Chains A and B, each alone.
Chain A
Amino acid sequence: MQWMINGDRPIYQQLTGQLTERIVSGVFPAGAKMPSVRDLAAEAGVNPNTMQRALADLEREGLLYTQRTSGRFVTEDKGMIEKVRQQLAMGRIADFLSSMRLIGFSEDETMELLRKASRQEGETHEH
């Protein structure tokens, strides 16, 4: 997974989002030890204090926790990770549906197109 810092949004918010994606997709699985702030910052090409701020945000949300002596870990609460994963998915679907409405597609039309596109993608994957 590539780090993408762009646009005008605060950098720490972009990092929070991309760290969350890595947690829900299992790049950083439940209970895993996180790399150091310095390593994460160098990998993402961002300021270490900004990365620290993003990690602190995820701690506040409960996705990460710090053990005083041994570092920072992903929560072991898989239910919580799943809940965040569902929230992310719902958010993206809502964005998608509203962008389809914007170009004049009803929900039914969109659903139909979605099934068609999904079948086509399935076929190309088989070949």
Chain B
Amino acid sequence: MNTNDLIVCSGLTKYFGGVKALADLNLTIGRGRIVGLLGPNGSGKSTTIKLMNGLLTPTHGEVRIDGEAPGVYTHSIVSYLPERSYLNDWMKASQLIDFFADFYKDFDKKKAYEMLKALDISPADRLKTMSKGTKEKVQLILVMSRAAQLYLLDEPIGGVDPATRDYILNTILTNYSENATVMLSTHLISDIERVLDEVIFLQKGQLTLHETVDDIRESRGKSVDALFREVFAC
């Protein structure tokens, strides 16, 4: 296997009861890529990310991260931002940073404090006293402060204001490494396509498109945003 392939999905399929959430996904993603996982609600984005992170087990097929099935090793190289918070509400931002630093060898406390400062969040504030948007920022800071090989971000820009969204995108760009890949799911494509290498369209659990942003623009003469609106028109 090519060691440059970071994610390889083969026939990856997930049923929930009789409902097919993801059907026969075959996908290879390299390193040093920023990838957008796009699709409307219920298209299988979160399911895909959870399968890659080992939070769900496939019904059929498999996913390998850096050559391994999700498990202890992949958890050490994957930094995951869930769609919902799992953090303890009573903890202060500074305690959360200590908690993450204990948990992950690749956690950079200095970087976390720098980001808190840049977003004007006090390390002494408790999570439960923060607004929804600020909580999301703290969570993203924790995830991006790791020196991981794969960042799986489930809807990182959904609930934040435009200035914060720009900061998050900038953080992803300045954090860029040729060894690491960032995969983010979203249904808000317009402002983020310029940071993406490639996009994946999911529709009802099926992969319908996997191309680079500029290939789409070159071959179809339209932005990914315009194509998205066309493909997923209600």
A1-58, CB < 8 A from B: 5, 7-12, 38, 41-42, 45-50, 53
Interface centre among B214, B221, B223, B226 (most CB of A within 10 A): B214
Q: Is the CB of A47 within 8 A of B196?
A: yes
A10 in contact with B214 given A42-B173, A48-B176 (CB within 8 Å): yes
A49 touches which of B32, B174, B217 (Cβ 8 Å): B32
Near B by CB (< 8 A), chain A positions 48-90 give: 48-50, 53
Enumerate chain A residues within 8 angstroms of B176, measured Cβ to Cβ.
38, 41, 48
Residues on the B chain within 8 Å of A53, using CB:
214
CB pair B174–A11 under 8 Å, yes or no, is no
Contact of A11 among B33, B166, B217, B222 (CB under 8 A): B217
Bound-state CA distance A10–B213 (Å) is 8
**List of B residues within 8 angstroms of A11 by Cβ:** 193-194, 213-214, 217
Q: Which of A47, A50, A53 has the most CB of B within 10 A?
A: A47
Given A7-B223, A8-B221, CB of A47 within 8 Å of CB of B170 = no
Interface string of B147-179 (1 = CB under 8 A from A): 000000000000000000010011001101000
**A46 contacts B32, CB within 8 Å?**
no
**A12-B222 CB under 8 A given contacts A45-B173, A49-B197:** no
* Chain A proximity of B65: nearest CB distance (Å): 21
B165-204 vs A, Cβ < 8 Å mask (1 yes, 0 no)? 0100110011010000000000000000111110000000
In Å, the complex CA distance between A76 and B34 comes to 34
B102 at the interface (CB under 8 A from A): no
Q: Verify if B120 is at the interface (C-beta below 8 Å from A).
A: no
Task: Give the nearest-CB partner of B223 in chain A.
Answer: A8
Distance in Å from the Cβ of B230 to the closest Cβ of chain A? 12
Hey, which chain B residues are within 8 Å of A38, CB to CB? 173-174, 176
Q: Give the most central of B174, B194, B196, B217: most A CB within 10 Å.
A: B194
**Contact between B218 and A10, CB atoms less than 8 A apart:** yes
A74-118 toward B: CB 8 Å interface, digit per residue (1/0)?
Answer: 000000000000000000000000000000000000000000000
Which residues of the other chain, A, contact B218 by a CB distance below 8 angstroms? 10
Q: What residue in chain A is nearest B213 (Cβ atoms)? A: A11
CA distance A7 to B193 in the complex (A): 12
- Output the nearest chain B residue to A12 by Cβ-Cβ distance: B214
Residue from the list B32, B34, B217 in contact with A8, Cβ < 8 A: B217
How close is B200's CB to chain A, nearest CB, in angstroms? 15
Pair B222/A8 contact, Cβ less than 8 Å: yes
A45-B166 in contact (CB<8A): yes
Q: Shortest CB–CB separation between residue B156 and chain A, in angstroms?
A: 16
Bound complex: CA A41 to CA B214 (Å): 15
Decide if A46 touches B194 in the complex (CB within 8 Å). Answer: yes
A42 near B170 (CB under 8 angstroms)? yes
Which residues on the A side are within 8 Å of B33 (C-beta)? Answer: 49
Closest CB in chain B relative to A21 CB, distance in Å: 18
With both chains docked as a complex, state the minimum distance between the C-beta of A15 and any C-beta of chain B, in angstroms: 10
Q: Which 10 A-B pairs have the closest CB atoms?
A: A10-B214, A10-B217, A42-B173, A8-B222, A5-B194, A46-B194, A8-B223, A10-B218, A42-B174, A48-B176
Chain A to chain B contacts (Cβ below 8 Å), 9 pairs: A8-B221, A8-B223, A10-B218, A11-B193, A11-B217, A45-B166, A46-B194, A48-B176, A49-B32
